Structure 1
Amino acid sequence: MRRTDRLFDIIQILRDGKLHRAQDIAERLEVSVRTIYRDMDTLAASGIPVEGERGVGYMVREAITLPPLTLTAEELEALNLGMAIVAEAADPGLRAAAESLADKVDAVLPTEVISEADTWKFAVYPFADAARGFAHMAPLRAAIKSRQKLDLHYRRIDGTLTHRKIRPLHMEYWGRVWTLTAWCEARDDFRVFRVDLIEDLTPLPELFVDEPGKRLSDYVPD
Structure 2
Amino acid sequence: MSRAQRLLDLIQLLRGYRRPVSGAVLAEALGISLRTLYRDIETLNAQGAHIDGEPGIGYVLRPGFMLPPLMFSEDEIEAIVLGSRWVADRTDAALSGAARSALAKISAVLPPDLKAGLDTSGLLIGPGTAIATGDAELPVIRSAIRTERKLRIFYQDGSGRSSNRTIWPFALGFFDRVRIVVAWCELREGFRHFRTDRISKVQAVDKRYPRRRQVLLKEWRASEGIPNGSEFHY
Q: By the TM > 0.5 criterion, same fold? A: no
Q: Which has the larger radius of gyration?
A: 2
Higher relative contact order (CA 8 A, sep 6+): 1
Q: TM-score range by the shorter chain?
A: 0.3 to 0.5
* TM-score between the two structures when normalised by the length of structure 2: 0.43
